[in-house]
């Protein structure tokens, strides 16, 4: 069965510093991978997706992620964060485009 592990429950970082949010998944088949962001009292907004092709995926708001099949990882990165990036971030996996399986989330706290 597929599963997702987000290695950090909270990540504090100063404004304009780089950040990496880590995600590992387990699956016995090919998968699609996603990062979603959730602001307080809102639903999930898609940041970026990996379906196939280039392993480096660029998303909205300056975020990018790299798919590493050998390490079964899909870490999210941003070179310089802003206060407005403070939110909860969810990594998700889908086998063959079926249901999404989410990690427990990582709260990114950007400090001034």
Partner 1 sequence: DAGVTQSPTHLIKTRGQQVTLRCSPISGHKSVSWYQQVLGQGPQFIFQYYEKEERGRGNFPDRFSARQFPNYSSELNVNALLLGDSALYLCASSFYARDQPQHFGDGTRLSIL
**Residue 7 binds partner 1 (CB under 8 A):** no
Residue 92: exposed, middle, or buried by beta-carbon count in 10 A (0-12, 13-18, 19+)?
buried
What is the per-residue binding string for partner 1 in 60-89, x denoting contact by CB under 8 A? ------------------------------
Whichever of 14 and 39 has its CB closer to partner 1, that residue is 39
Q: 3-state DSSP helix/strand/coil percent for the chain, to nearest 5?
A: 5, 55, 40
Query: How many residues form the binding site for partner 1 (CB under 8 A)?
Result: 25
| CA distance linking residue 2 with residue 25, whole number of Å | 7
Cα–Cα distance measured from residue 72 to residue 37, given in angstroms and rounded to the nearest whole number: 21
Two structure tokens written together for 66: 């790299």
Question: Cβ 98 to partner 1, closest distance in Å?
Answer: 6
Tell me which of 8, 32, 77, 86 binds partner 1, using CB under 8 A.
32
Binding site for partner 1 (CB under 8 A): 4, 32, 34, 36, 41-46, 49, 51, 90, 92, 94, 96-105
């Amino acid at each position: 069965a597929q599963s997702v592990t987000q290695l950090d429950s909270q990540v504090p970082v100063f404004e304009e510093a780089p950040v990496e949010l880590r995600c590992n998944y387990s699956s016995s088949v090919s998968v699609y991978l996603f990062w979603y962001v959730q602001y307080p009292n809102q639903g999930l907004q898609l940041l970026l997706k990996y379906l196939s092709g280039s392993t480096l995926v660029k998303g909205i708001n300056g975020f990018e992620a790299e798919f590493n099949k050998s390490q079964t990882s899909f870490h999210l990165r941003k070179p310089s964060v802003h206060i407005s990036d403070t939110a909860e971030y969810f990594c998700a996996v889908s086998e063959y485009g079926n249901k999404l399986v989410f990690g427990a989330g990582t709260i990114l706290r950007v400090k001034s």
